Amino acid sequence: MSEQAANKILPGTDGDKYVKYDERVSNESIVYFTRDLSAEGLKKIYEKVSANIKGKAAIKLHTGEQHGPNIIPREWVKDLMNSEATLKDAVIVETNSYYEGDRYTTELHRETLKVNGWTFAPVDIMDENGTAMLPVKGGKWFTEMSVGKDMLKYDSLIALTHFKGHTQGGFGGSNKNIGIGCADGRIGKAMIHTTPGQPNQWDIAKEEFMERMTESTKATVDYFGKRVTFINVMRNMSVSCDCEGVAAAPVVTPNVGILGSLDILAIDQASVDLVYAMKENEHHDLVERIETRHGLRQLSYMKELGMGNDKYILIDLDNNEVRICPKDAVKDLKPFKA
């Protein structure tokens, strides 16, 4: 932990304030979009953002608690891995959870993987064999972050993320998938969630939590360098994370599509922008979850850390790759049906 963190410096503010696109100042990154929520749509997106995936690839996704209803369909992932040459020898990667549940220990975690159908490909629980420390460059809370040791075996990383709400983070996008999902279950996740010596396991919240999580993400993204890519699946978007399994709040937000980018800030910002571009009755619950948890600090802090651009060119793969705006992407959404 850095000296600054030890002195409890104040986190940034305004994680509950949405910044409109024309009020942002940055370069523009490319974000690809399709409304095709299927294995074919996922492959279409992956092909656009896979150029830098080389060597042994790790696919980081949330495999869920037992019988979790909202996780990315296994069939989509299986089809992707079987059809893409760069994923011929790829491995799904996870870490154990910080809370006591279906994934708290490696033994429990492996049983949950079987229950949820993640049996078609190898799954590496990266902290099963210990941890490793990665440097955090430019962080104010950490100088290093503890991750699952096995992560260092891989040459490339695909963050295949189910975008949704999150009880602590407001929303869970690529930043959460990597920042929490690659931190090991005992040391790294504790560094993000808990002030040492406090009885409350979840005492770190709002802006400070967003900043700590983002610094964890930066450690992993910096480790892989250019050999990392990001996909967000905007489907079955409960305000609850997949870690809540069958206890997740019912989905009321319409399904949208799949996004892909080489820029982690751009893809999470675009996903949030698509939510805000929806009609009030469509996005009310998810926007409320994001703002009450001050989750927008994830985006502004990624920008402060130089992790990407919060402006982007949104490319519509369904319509001759024309540039569209978020309003175009969420036009005529259908109400969610389980």
Question: What sign does the CA torsion over 251, 309, 160, 43 have?
Answer: positive
String of DSSP letters for 143-185: SEEEEEGGGGG-SEEEEEEE-EEETTTEEESHHHHHHTTSB-T
Q: Any idea which of 7-21, 50-64, 209-223 has the lowest mean pLDDT? A: 7-21
> Which pair of tokens denotes residue 260?
């892909």
Q: Which residues of 280-318 are buried (b: 16+ CB within 10 A; e: fewer)?
A: eebbebbbebbeebbbbbbbbbbbebebbbbbbebbbbe
Name the helix (H) or strand (E) containing 323: strand 322-324
Distance (Å, whole) CA 186 – CA 102: 15
State pTM to two decimals. Answer: 0.95
pLDDT for position 8 = 55
Distance (Å, whole) CA 315 – CA 317: 6
Residue 193, classed as helix, strand or coil, is helix
pLDDT at residue 10 is higher than 90? no
Burial classification of residue 96, based on how many CB atoms lie within 10 Å of its CB (0-12 exposed, 13-18 middle, 19 or more buried) = buried
pLDDT for position 9 = 60
pLDDT for position 241 = 85
Position with higher pLDDT, 11 vs 256 = 256
String of DSSP letters for 259-304: EEES-HHHHHHHHHHHHHHS-HHHHHHHHHHHHHTTTTHHHHHHHH
pLDDT for position 3 = 46
pLDDT tens for 296-324 read 999 999 999 999 999 999 999 999 999 99
pLDDT for position 244 = 76
Residue with tokens 């941890």: 131
pLDDT tens for 107-159 read 999 999 999 999 999 999 999 999 999 999 999 999 999 999 999 999 999 99
Question: Would you list the domain boundaries of the chain?
Answer: 3-329
Beta bridge partners of 183: 147
pLDDT tens for 168-227 read 999 999 999 999 999 999 999 999 999 999 999 999 999 999 999 999 999 999 999 999
Q: Give the 3-state secondary structure percentages of the chain, helix then strand then coil, rounded to 5.
A: 35, 20, 45
> Which pair of tokens denotes residue 313?
């060119």
Alpha-carbon distances, residue 253 vs 64, 243, 275 (angstroms)? 20, 18, 9
**Contact of 238 with 70, CB cutoff 8 Å:** yes
pLDDT tens for 272-286 read 999 999 999 999 999
Beta bridge partners of 162: 233
The rounded mean pLDDT for the chain is 95
Alpha-carbon distances, residue 55 vs 49, 155, 208, 222, 266 (angstroms)? 16, 5, 36, 17, 25
pLDDT for position 127 = 98
